[in-house]
Amino acid sequence: MTDRYAVIGNPVAHSKSPQIHAAFALETAQDLHYERLLAPLDGFAATVQRFRSDGGRGCNVTVPFKLEAFCLAQAWSDRARDAGAANTLDFRGEGIFADNTDGAGLLRDLMVNLGTPLQDKRVLLLGAGGASQGVLGPLLEQRPAELVVANRTPHKASQLVEKLPRRATGTRLTGCGFGELAGRNFEVVVNATSSSLSDELPPLPNGLFAEDSLAYDMMYGKGLSPFLRFAQMQGATRCADGLGMLVEQAAESFLLWRGVRPSTRSVIDSLRSP
């Protein structure tokens, strides 16, 4: 009997996850079907439980439900616990196991696919929601010289930084509002806000991008997002969207569910083809 998996979000129609997991299944000879499920903003838990009752084996979770997904589980991976957010649920026996593969996916895309080491770099992470929670710890583990979390609401950035389990990395870790970024520049700037979904730009000051900098938007779509257009006009040397991260985090989820990690390069290349 074919095993069923899904991605749950709102919006979710744009998701390429079904194509990605279909390619992974073909490569690894796994019998599974993967679909999109649109959950009402007030109906995430009910959508998960319905899918599980109908025989679903697990799901990915996208905006805006990653915090709810964490709370819905009865058991958690260490990286989900560190993040306080989950993007992957595995239905095990009577319970739900939560994992967060976002950080691993982002790091693999940045460091392997894009050839951008983070050690000793000045890194800016935009946003303090579930997406940021999933990647902050893994980014810190790479020992950048400085890691700043900036958010429209400054205290949310500060809270995110303060509750992160501390590790002796030597990194200067701070949280602030967007306005406090004026006069500062960074070598890697990661947009983890959902602004690109609504074709908007966070209120960022000019001069954020250092020489030879990388601008990275965790969202993906056709053409440059407003954030990446802004970065390009501001002199960012390289711009990348989150398609590579999407494929890499999906491979981590696939490994959790199926016990095998598929290769990703050919999938990324095929999704970028016209």
CATH assignment at residue 97: 3.40.50.10860
pLDDT at 130: 80
Determine, yes or no, domain membership for 268: no
**Are both 125 and 161 inside the same structural domain?**
yes
Q: Are 54 and 84 part of one and the same domain?
A: yes
Query: What is the rounded average pLDDT of the residues 58-72?
Result: 94
According to the model, what pLDDT value does residue 198 have?
77
76 or 220, greater pLDDT:
76
Domain presence at residue 183: yes
Assess whether 121 carries a catalytic annotation: no
Does some domain include residue 271?
Answer: no
pTM here is 0.92
20 φ, ψ to 5°? -65, -50
Q: Is residue 270 domain-resident?
A: no
Domain assignment of residue 118, yes or no: yes
Query: Among candidates 252, 249, 199, 251, which has minimal Cα distance to 229?
Result: 199
Q: Is residue 24 part of a domain?
A: yes
- Same domain, yes or no: 38 and 163: no
Within 116-225, residue ranges assigned H as helices are 130-141, 154-163
- DSSP structural state of residue 216: E
- Per the structure, the count of domains in the chain is 2
- Counting Cα atoms < 13 Å in the Cβ hemisphere of 85 gives 25
Instruction: Quote the CA–CA distance of 215 and 210 in Å, as a whole number.
Output: 10
Question: How high is the pLDDT of residue 168?
Answer: 60
Q: Kindly indicate the confidence band of residue 80, based on its pLDDT and cuts at 50, 70 and 90.
A: very high
State the amino acid at position 237 in one-letter form.
Answer: T
* Neighbour-count burial for 233-262, b at 16+ CB within 10 Å, e otherwise: ebebebbbbbbbbbbbbbbbbbbbbbeeeb
Q: Categorize the per-residue pLDDT at 73 as very low, low, confident or very high, splitting at 50, 70 and 90.
A: very high
The catalytically annotated residue of 16, 66, 163, 222 is: 66
Residues 145 and 211 in one domain: yes
Residue 109's domain is classified under what CATH number? 3.40.50.720
Same domain, residue pair 258 and 160: no
What is the tens place of the pLDDT at every residue in 168-194? Answer: 678 999 999 999 999 999 999 999 998
Same domain, 123 and 237: yes
Q: How far apart are CA 232 and CA 71, in angstroms?
A: 38
Q: Is there a single domain that holds both residue 31 and residue 109?
A: no
Judged against a pLDDT cut of 90, whether residue 152 lies above it is answered with: yes
Q: Are residues 121 and 190 in the same domain?
A: yes
Confidence of residue 94 (pLDDT cuts 50, 70, 90): confident
Percent of the chain with pLDDT over 70: 99
Q: 68 pLDDT exceeds 80?
A: yes
Specify if 274 maps to a domain: no
Whether residue 221 sits in one domain with residue 113: yes
Please, which pLDDT band fits residue 252 given cuts at 50, 70 and 90?
A: very high
Q: Strand pairing partners for 149? A: 125, 175
The model's confidence at residue 197, banded by pLDDT at 50, 70 and 90, is: confident
How many percent of the chain have pLDDT more than 90?
A: 85
Same domain, 97 and 27: yes
Say if residue 117 is in the same domain as residue 233: yes
Query: Quick check: 221 pLDDT over 90?
Result: no
Q: CB–CB of 153/180 below 8 Å?
A: no
**Residue at 269 is within a domain:** no
| Average pLDDT rounded to a whole number, residues 219-239 | 93
Residues 64 and 163 occupy one common structural domain: no
List of residues 6+ apart from 76 with CB closer than 8 A: 70, 86, 97, 98, 99
Instruction: Inform me whether the pLDDT recorded for 164 exceeds 90.
Output: no
> 122 lies in which domain range?
103-242
